[in-house]
Structure 1
Amino acid sequence: MTPATAPTLEVVVRRAAPTDAESVMEMVREIAAHEGQSEHVTVTSARWADVLARPDVIVLLASRDGRDLGYVSAIRRLHLWSDRDVIALDDLYVREEARNAGVGRALMATLASRHAEPDRLKITWGVEPDNLAAQRFYQRLGAGLRHKVVAGWDPTGYADVVRSGAAQGH
C-alpha cells in the first residue's frame, strides 16, 4: 500500500444522524445478542431515524476508515432531586474486533467533552454486576461504582394495581 491508500488508525467520533439509523440498528442488535437479550429489541430502523433527530437523544458513532466500530447512546434528562439535567447513558458498545483499541474511551471522552462538560452535568449509567471487565474500564475512566437494584414495572405487572382502583387519586 502506498501512504495515500494506507488505512488510518485514527478513530473519528461524530454524532449520529437520521441517515445512520441502519448502522445504529445493526449495532443495537449486536449488543442485544451479546447480552442474550435479542428478544427485547423491537425498535425498527425507521424509528431509529426519528429518534436520532431528537435533540435530547445523543448517539455518538466511532469509526475508522468509514467503518462504524461502536456507539454510545444517552439521553439528556432532568434529575428532579437536584433540579439539574443529567446525561443518562443507555449503551456503550464496541464491536469485538475494535475492543481494547481506545474506541470505548474515545466514545466516553467525546460524550463527556461535548455533552456533559459544557454544563458540568453528571453522567449516570448501569452495568451488569457480572460484567467485571466493563466495571474495570469505567473505574479506569474515573467513574465511581455503587451497587443498586434496578426495578422495572411493565404493563402486565401494574395492570392488577390499576384495575384494583389504587389509582383513584387522579
Structure 2
Amino acid sequence: MTPSPSPSVTVRHARPADLPRVAELAAEHAAYEKATPPAPGLADRLAALLFATHAPRLRCLVAERPGDGRLVGYATCAPELSTWDGREYLHLDCLFLEVGQRGLGAGPKLMDAVVAEARALGLPEVQWQTPAWNEGAIRFYDRLGAHAKEKVRYTLPVTDTPSAPAG
C-alpha cells in the first residue's frame, strides 16, 4: 500500500497530549541515525522544556495527518547565540518524518513553520546540522536553498568530577 500524499498535513505547535508520540518519533529518529535511544521519561523532560510557566526553552512543531490525527513528524527548535555574528538565531535541533511520509510534502511544511517561528521571535536566521551520510536530508535542504557549512560536532559529558587530559 502506497502512502497517500500529505499536502493536507497540518503543522502546529505540540500540545502536552502530543508528547508521548513525539517521544516515539524521537526514538525512531535516534534509530534512523544509529544513535543511542532517548532515555526513559523523554515526554516528561520535553514537557518541562516546552510548557514551563516561565519562558519556554524549546519549541516543538508537529505534522498531523488529516482524518486520523496521527502525528507523522516533528521539528524542535530553540533560540541560540552566535558570538561571531553578535546576535541570536533559531537552532533547528531535530526535524524528522516517519519513513512513509518522506517526499510527500510534510517536510517543507515543517520547515516553513520553523522559519515562521524564527520570524515570530524576530530572529534573522535558522541554523541546523545533519549527518554527512544522510544524503536524502542533504538533497532536501539544498532544494530549500539552504547553505551547508563543514563542521564536526563534538559532545562532552559533564560529570561530577572534573577530568584532566591524559599526558
Q: Normalising to structure 1: TM-score of the pair? A: 0.81
Decide whether aligned partners of structure 1 residues 161 and 135 sit closer, same or farther in structure 2, where only a CA change above 3 A counts.
Answer: same
Deviates more, 1:132-141 or 1:80-89: 80-89
The Cα offsets for residues 90-144 of structure 1, whole Å up to 9 and x where unpaired, read as 111000111110111100011102x112424211111111111111100100100
- Per the alignment, residue 109 of structure 1 pairs with 112
Q: Percent identity?
A: 32
User: RCO greater where, 1 or 2, for CA within 8 Å and sep 6 or more?
Assistant: 2
1:19 is displaced (CA, Å) by: 2.4
2:81 to 75, 78, 81: 78
Unaligned runs of 5+ in 2: 1-5
Deviation at 1:68, TM superposition (A): 0.6
In structure 1, distance between residues paired with 2:108 and 2:76 = 14
Q: Which amino acid aligns with 1:21?
A: L
- Per-residue deviation at 1:77? 2.0
Structure with the higher helix share, 1 or 2: 1
Letter in 2 for 1:63: E
Residue 90 of structure 1: which of 88, 93, 113 is its match?
Answer: 93
Pair member with larger Rg: 1
C-alpha contact (below 8 Å) 2:11/2:113 kept by paired residues: yes
Q: Which of 146, 151, 155 is residue 149 of structure 2 equivalent to?
A: 146
SS of the residue corresponding to residue 12 of structure 2 reads strand
Number of equivalent positions: 153
Equivalent position amino acid for 1:24 in 2: V
8 Å Cα contact 1:56/1:77 also seen in 2: no
| Alignment correspondent of 1:42 | 39
Q: Structure 1 regions of 5+ residues with no counterpart?
A: 1-7, 163-170
- Whether the 8 Å contact between 1:58 and 1:75 is mirrored in structure 2 is yes
SS in 1 for 2:63: strand
| Normalised TM-score (structure 2) | 0.82
